[in-house]
Amino acid sequence: MIVWAVLFIILLFFAFITFIAYKMASPPRLIGDWTPKDLGYGYEYEELWIRTKDGLRLHAWWIDQGNEKTIIPLHGYTASKWEEIYMKPTLEILLKGGYNVLVFDFRAHGKSEGKYTTIGDKELIDVLSAVDWIRENKSAKAQKIGLIGFSMGAIVTIRALAEDERICCGIADSPPIYMDRTGARGLKYFAKLPIWLYSIVKPITLWISRGKIINIIEYANKIKKPLLLIAGKKDPLVMIKEVEEFYKKNKKINPEVNLWVSEAAHVRTINISRDCYETHVLEFFGKML
């Protein structure tokens, strides 16, 4: 009886771990009911689907402002283009600045296809496919392309700057520098689970998603384009010292990297200092695009 009881407890434990891993790989979808027409001056937009290089369809909005410069905002893990804390105000800022905007839902988020997220791995395919769409369908409106990404979107922003010459510059807000560290903190912060469980959950999550861990610190010696890093002192997921480590390493080869540290929590700088955020963003893109 004792043996069977122990086996049952072990089975129950691994069932619980597998459930957590599945939920991490397949987060709930955020789908809202507002559109660019509900922003500011009621912007006209085109609703479209972008086909990725690996065959998925991503739901997107294209807002054409007659500019030759286009910016792509990139949402974070579990969010979507409908996210209201940072995506909605970011769209308002970019559109106010007169830029064309292409905004889409990453795979397995929002209305986009895809069952599993890889939190920065295959999402690079999504961004590069979006750039392909712009160049193929709106070439005159995309002579210069910039990115602004939040959390997972910040990971992809940094990767895309290093790997695609068509992207001119980028802003990375709250970028997880070491994914394992951020993942473990997230498990504790959001699920209230002990950090040590992450080492067990991680391989199952990767097996489910068929993704791999992306540590952005590895890109610190690869980027030589304008990059603005934004970090918050109250961020429970990404430590300031980790972002500073990336910044210092990149600064050795990239004179156009800058770091702005605020008093905010994760991806919340835009909320605690909207005017200042708008100034930083529009000055950066105004100079670098």
The residue to which tokens 């391989």 are assigned: 203
Contact in structure between 93 and 71 (CB atoms under 8 Å): no
Sign of CA dihedral 106, 110, 111, 117: positive
Please classify residue 217 by burial: count the beta carbons closer than 10 Å to its beta carbon, then call 0-12 exposed, 13-18 middle and 19+ buried: middle
Q: How many residues comprise the chain? A: 289
Per residue in 5-32, pLDDT tens? 677 787 888 899 999 999 999 999 999 9
Nearest alpha-carbon partner for 177 in 150, 227, 215: 215
Per residue in 140-199, pLDDT tens? 888 899 999 999 999 999 999 999 999 999 999 999 999 999 999 999 988 888 999 999
Contact in structure between 179 and 248 (CB atoms under 8 Å): no
pLDDT score of 75: 98
Contact in structure between 90 and 122 (CB atoms under 8 Å): no
**pLDDT band at residue 211 using 50, 70 and 90 as cut-offs:** very high
Per residue in 71-130, pLDDT tens? 999 999 999 999 999 999 999 999 999 999 999 999 999 999 999 999 999 999 999 999
Please tell me the distance from the alpha carbon of residue 254 to that of residue 268, in angstroms, as a whole number: 26
Q: What are the structural domains of the chain?
A: 32-179+213-288 (3.40.50.1820)
Strands (E) across the chain are located at 46-51, 57-63, 69-74, 100-104, 144-150, 167-173, 227-232, 257-262
Side-chain half-sphere of 30: how many Cα atoms within 13 Å?
16
pLDDT score of 142: 84
Please classify residue 75 by burial: count the beta carbons closer than 10 Å to its beta carbon, then call 0-12 exposed, 13-18 middle and 19+ buried: buried
The two tokens of residue 258 are 């800058």
pLDDT score of 10: 79
Residue 220 has pLDDT above 80, yes or no: yes
pLDDT score of 63: 97
AA identity, residue 177: I
Please tell me the distance from the alpha carbon of residue 149 to that of residue 83, in angstroms, as a whole number: 13
Please tell me the distance from the alpha carbon of residue 232 to that of residue 264, in angstroms, as a whole number: 4
**pLDDT band at residue 216 using 50, 70 and 90 as cut-offs:** very high
- Average pLDDT over the chain, rounded to an integer: 95
3-class state of residue 144 by DSSP? strand
Per residue in 33-77, pLDDT tens? 999 999 988 899 999 999 999 999 999 999 999 999 999 999 999
pLDDT score of 41: 81
What is the percent of the chain with per-residue pLDDT over 70, rounded to a whole number? 99
pLDDT score of 190: 86
Q: What is the maximum span of the chain, computed from C-alpha positions, in angstroms?
A: 74
pTM of the model: 0.95
